[in-house]
Amino acid sequence: MRRRRRKWKGALGWALAWLGFALVLFGLIDLVGSVLWQGLRSFRFSMLFQPTQGIAGGLENAILGTFELVLIGVVFAAPLGVLGGIFTSEFASPRLAAAIRFVAEVLSGVPSIVIGYFGYLLLVLHFHWGFSALAGGVALTLIMLPYILRTTDTSLQQVPLLQREAAWALGMTRTQAILKTVWRPAASGMATGLLLAIAIGLGETAPLLYTAGWNSNNPSLALTHSQVGYLTYVAYTYLDEPYAQARQLAYAAGFVLLMLILIIQLVVRFVVWRSSARGGRSAA
Amino acid sequence: MRKVSKAAKAWDRGFRVLAAIGAASPAVFLAAIAAIVLVESIPTIRFMGFHFLTETRWDMGNLYGALTHRNGITAPAGATYGALVFIVGTLLSSIIALLIAVPVSVATALVLAYRVRGPLGFLLNILVELLAGIPSVVIGLWGILVLVPWIANAFAPFLKSILGFIPFFGGQTGTGYSLLASGIVLAMMTVPIITATTRDLLQQVPVLAREGGLGIGMTSWEVVRYIALPYIREGFIGAVALGWGRAMGETMAVLMVSGNATNILPQNLYSPISTMAAFIANQLDSAETDASGMAVHALSELALILLVITLATNLVARWLVRPRRREGVMAS
């Protein structure tokens, strides 16, 4: 009797676990499926080469604007993050390293809208940059920086100490050791982190609402005082419009965005899987 | 033997300084964010005092009329800034999200950690991680396309019919743009976070402990229930706190499905709400139009409160999931 009850309990428990798992998978598939399906029906290739006009038109301005913002974000975030990661892993004492990691984690926990509002207060209002590419890019920097720092740090930590000691034994300084040998095995992990940070930047909306503004023309080269459009804005705003055309544009924007991010994510996973299958280091 | 050249030493020192600057930058940014948001919210703090936290009415006042003065602060006549609605909305929606996400995440993590392996396990792991990478705007899009109509037409009436006798479940079922929709959308975003951490924790449970359980005749479920889950308890609570912080700070998806209620507390599960983050995102226009600048300061205080709440949950979470050495297997 008792044994049977225990068996039943176990079966029930695992059944519930599988049920929860199935729910997650179903949610994911439903989400990706319905957004891709709606997007495919609304997407026209001509949208890629047309700027937005009023409530309709294309997405060229938004796509270019997204790339510009992410590029500016990466230009600031990548050097700071990579250098910071190198410092954390290679130069800092264990306690200092723990402190830096902790601060980076805390920064990544700051809600993105707070970062956006901070950008608005400091850059848009105090610095008088106005809604601009630079303000949006800096806001994205704050989102990406802790992520890049952490992935650089973790992939450097996986390089065996032996490799450093070999380099030091050759009479290299710590800097030479890092720049000549230690970074090589960690490179794939760092690149993965950078790509995923870009994927995060592409999908952000909240930090940009208050910093980048919106522009239905293609982005100009002016860094300040010129608003920029971006994809997530289209997806968010045009969905509320009562016109079918506008909503189609929103679906198409969501579609392009999702495709970009899925491609980056899948490429990254595939590369990680390949390198770990070959017995290389598994990254980040 | 050649000595290390002077130039190489200078390079070394220079690079160290550069790297240190990079490592210090998160701290600098964090301090800057906290300082700016705090300084900008001082006028509202003086204007509203504690009423900011206890009043439900958020009114910009008459933007084109006379100005009033209170506590040395100038504001549009009739302006009052009470954030209670948004604080309640944030707490309720994130708690509903956790109520859904915690069991589902544990289930998913158990399956991922103990039940699938090999290529299939790899694939399923990737799928769950993919969910974490989906932008919140896209989740909001799904919310509007699929979730909100489903809640309005099917789920809310269904819930009401079986649980309607409980106060919060009864009443008007509304349009679907609701507390419930916000909670579900937030659950979608917290599940991958909690799942990933819990799965990693479960994989750290020593095999010996699990095999010991099997060896004394436990079923595999009992091993999970009496050995694995107790073993990861603290870390798991940390993971939940981490997910909670994320859920409270989430903006876009909630903004799109919450119904953006202002000045009214939610009456039931199906009422529209607004969260602090969503309200800030929604109020760009009023921040731009208020010539006295009070709207900017009021939103700043909202951002400050959000920052404090999320940082507090984050700190607690980090403290709980911090890596630590364990003495014995059963020390929990």
Residue A53 lies in a domain: no
Q: Kindly state whether A13 is in contact with chain B, defined as any CB-CB distance less than 8 angstroms.
A: yes
Residue A1 lies in a domain: no
Q: Provide the shortest C-alpha distance from residue A50 to chain B (in Å).
A: 22
Find the mean pLDDT for residues B228-250.
91
Residue A143 lies in a domain: yes
Do B296 and B196 lie in one domain? The reply is: yes
| B75 vs A27 pLDDT, higher one | A27
Tell me the DSSP string of B237-263: HHHHHHHHHHHHH--HHHHHHSB---S
Q: CB–CB of A80 and B21 under 8 A?
A: yes
Q: Provide the shortest C-alpha distance from residue A222 to chain B (in Å).
A: 22
Q: CB–CB of B36 and A122 under 8 A?
A: yes
- Own/partner long-range contacts of A104-108 (Cβ < 8 Å, ≥24 apart): A104/A145, A104/A146, A104/A149, A104/A150, A104/B26, A105/A146, A105/A150, A105/B314, A105/B318, A106/B30, A106/B311, A106/B314, A106/B315, A106/B318, A107/A142, A107/A145, A107/A146, A107/B26, A107/B29, A107/B30, A108/A146, A108/A147, A108/A150
Q: CB–CB of B252 and A236 under 8 A?
A: yes
Do B212 and B315 lie in one domain? The reply is: yes
Give me the phi and psi of B314, to 5 degrees please. -65, -45
Which DSSP category does B267 fall into?
A: -
Do B72 and B199 lie in one domain? The reply is: no
The SS3 call for residue B331 is: coil
Residue B17 clears pLDDT 90, i.e. is over it: yes
**Domain extent at residue B65:** 6-81
Residues 6+ apart with CB under 8 A from B141: A35, A38, A235, A239, A250, A251, A254, B256
Do B308 and B163 lie in one domain? The reply is: yes
Q: CB–CB of B22 and A86 under 8 A?
A: yes
Residue B22 lies in a domain: yes
A190's tokens: 């760092």
B92's tokens: 């309720």
Q: Which residues of B touch A6 (CB under 8 A)?
A: 219, 222
Tell me the DSSP string of B124-172: HHHHHHHHHHS-HHHHHHHIIIIIHHHIIIIIHHHHHHHHTTSGGG-S-
Q: Kindly state whether A211 is in contact with chain B, defined as any CB-CB distance less than 8 angstroms.
A: no
Q: Which residues of A touch B307 (CB under 8 A)?
A: 110-111, 114
Residue B332 clears pLDDT 50, i.e. is over it: no
Q: Which residues of A touch B191 (CB under 8 A)?
A: 24, 27
Mutate to test the interface with B, among A121, A147, A164 (most CBs of B within 10 A): A121
**E strand map for chain B:** 58-59, 67-70, 73-76, 80-81
Q: Which residues of A touch B44 (CB under 8 A)?
A: none
Q: What is the CATH number of the domain that holds B203?
A: 1.10.3720.10
Q: Kindly state whether A37 is in contact with chain B, defined as any CB-CB distance less than 8 angstroms.
A: no
Of residues A20, A88, A121, nearest to B40 (C-beta):
A121
| Least confident interval from A270-274, B120-124, B151-155 | A270-274
Q: CB–CB of B22 and A254 under 8 A?
A: no
- Looking at chain B, the whole-number percentage of residues with pLDDT higher than 90 is 49
Give the tens place of pLDDT for each residue, B302-329.
Answer: 999 999 999 999 888 888 776 655 544 4
Residue B194 clears pLDDT 60, i.e. is over it: yes
Find the mean pLDDT for residues B181-190.
94
Residue B23 clears pLDDT 80, i.e. is over it: yes
Q: What is the ipTM of this complex?
A: 0.89
Residue B202 clears pLDDT 80, i.e. is over it: yes
Q: Which residues of A touch B104 (CB under 8 A)?
A: 20, 23-24
| B111 vs A1 pLDDT, higher one | B111
- Looking at chain B, the whole-number percentage of residues with pLDDT higher than 70 is 96
Residue ending a domain, among B64, B81, B98, is B81
pLDDT at A278: 59
Q: CB–CB of B307 and A239 under 8 A?
A: no
Q: CB–CB of B2 and A104 under 8 A?
A: no
Give the tens place of pLDDT for each residue, A211-261.
Answer: 998 888 888 877 878 888 899 998 888 888 888 888 888 999 999 999 999
Buried b (16+ CB within 10 A) or exposed e, B322-331: eeeeeeeeee
Buried b (16+ CB within 10 A) or exposed e, B142-156: bbbbbbbeebbeebb
Do B62 and B158 lie in one domain? The reply is: no
CA torsion sign for B252, B254, B259, B264 is: negative
Residue B331 lies in a domain: no
Residue ending a domain, among B81, B99, B114, is B81
Question: Per the structure, how many domains does chain A have?
Answer: 1
Residues of A (131-160) whose Cβ lies below 8 Å from B? 142, 145-146, 149
Do B201 and B310 lie in one domain? The reply is: yes
CA torsion sign for B315, B320, B321, B327 is: positive
Residue B224 lies in a domain: yes
Mean pLDDT for each consecutive 10-residue tract of chain A (284 residues)?
A: 85 93 93 92 85 82 92 95 94 92 91 94 91 93 94 92 91 89 88 91 90 85 84 88 86 91 87 67 42
Do B71 and B118 lie in one domain? The reply is: no
Chain centroid offset of residue B24 CA: 26
Do B118 and B188 lie in one domain? The reply is: yes
Mutate to test the interface with A, among B138, B199, B248 (most CBs of A within 10 A): B138
Q: CB–CB of A118 and B33 under 8 A?
A: yes
pLDDT at A240: 80
pLDDT at A188: 86
Residue A20 lies in a domain: no
Residue B20 lies in a domain: yes
Q: CB–CB of A83 and B19 under 8 A?
A: yes
Residue A51 lies in a domain: no
pLDDT at B77: 78
Residue B190 clears pLDDT 90, i.e. is over it: yes
Residue B1 lies in a domain: no
Residue ending a domain, among B81, B98, B127, is B81
Residues of A (214-253) whose Cβ lies below 8 Å from B? 232, 235-236, 239, 250-251
Cα separation of B295 and B285, whole Å?
A: 10
Q: Kindly state whether A36 is in contact with chain B, defined as any CB-CB distance less than 8 angstroms.
A: no
Do B14 and B130 lie in one domain? The reply is: no
Question: Per the structure, how many domains does chain B have?
Answer: 2
- CA–CA–CA angle A98, A101, A106 (5° rounding): 125
**Domain extent at residue A186:** 59-277
Q: CB–CB of A107 and B144 under 8 A?
A: no
Find the mean pLDDT for residues B172-183.
88
Residue A156 lies in a domain: yes
Residue B332 lies in a domain: no
Find the mean pLDDT for residues B274-278.
92
For chains A and B, what is the number of CB pairs under 8 angstroms?
Answer: 274
Of residues B122, B219, B318, nearest to A6 (C-beta):
B219
Q: Which residues of A touch B260 (CB under 8 A)?
A: none
Residues 6+ apart with CB under 8 A from B292: B67, B74, B75, B76
Q: What is the CATH number of the domain that holds A158?
A: 1.10.3720.10
Residue B201 lies in a domain: yes
Residue B326 lies in a domain: no
Find the mean pLDDT for residues B83-109.
94
Of residues B22, B107, B145, nearest to A16 (C-beta):
B107
